[in-house]
Amino acid sequence: MSEREGQGDWADERARRVGPPDREIRFRAAAKAIASSIRRNRSGEGNPDCPILVEGLRDEKALRELGFSGIVERINRGWDRSRLVAYLHDTYGTRNLVDKGPPLILLMDWDRTGGRLQTVLRDRLMAMDIPVDEDLRTVLLRVMKPEARTIEALAPHSRNLNPMIEEFLDDPE
């Protein structure tokens, strides 16, 4: 392998890790992931009613600005982790009965504290046989990092994201 080919592989790997550099491409990727989670979170006839679990009230308000209308559960409610996990298990079970997917969307901030919370909660929930949907956090972590490191920091971008989210929501899957 030539030195140039090796550099190309390294550059491709770095681009995959860092994400697309163009803001429009990154925002479209975020909007698509958000729209997918909004679909799972919606309550109503034939909709899966999949709650989304966030850190606090400001995170919930930011999600509402982005179009989430279903159940948003907060971990900062004065309960210890064991009580929270038991509550989530009793309330939502181990499977989403409508779409057979994970019963919860787990969305912690993508800063250091959020990463720790994500890991602890995922491990505790999975120990109780409750799988979690982490797709939204994975995408936002990759594409929104320059603009936002927390969920509440997405709120100022809702003006740019909402038209794209609506576009993805209008498109049949």
Residues in Cβ contact with 58 at an 8 Å cutoff, skipping those fewer than 6 apart: 151, 152
Tell me, what's the pLDDT at 92? Answer: 86
- The pLDDT tens digits for 40-61 are 888 665 555 789 999 999 999 9
- pLDDT > 80? residue 7: no
> Are the C-beta atoms of residues 161 and 154 closer than 8 Å to each other?
yes
Tally of domains in the chain: 1
Straight-line distance from the first to the last Cα atom of the chain, in angstroms, rounded to the nearest whole number: 42
Q: What CATH number does residue 160 fall under?
A: 3.40.1360.10
- The pLDDT tens digits for 96-144 are 777 778 899 999 999 999 999 999 999 999 999 999 999 999 999 999 9
Q: Which domain holds residue 42?
A: 23-168
Whole-angstrom Cα distance, residue 63 to residue 113? 19
Name which of 88-102, 127-141, 154-168 the model is least confident about. Answer: 88-102
**32 falls within a domain:** yes
**1 falls within a domain:** no
**7 falls within a domain:** no
**30 falls within a domain:** yes
Local confidence band at 4 (pLDDT 50, 70, 90 cut-offs) = very low
SS3 (DSSP) at 41: helix
Q: What angle do CA 78, 52, 96 make, to 5 degrees?
A: 115
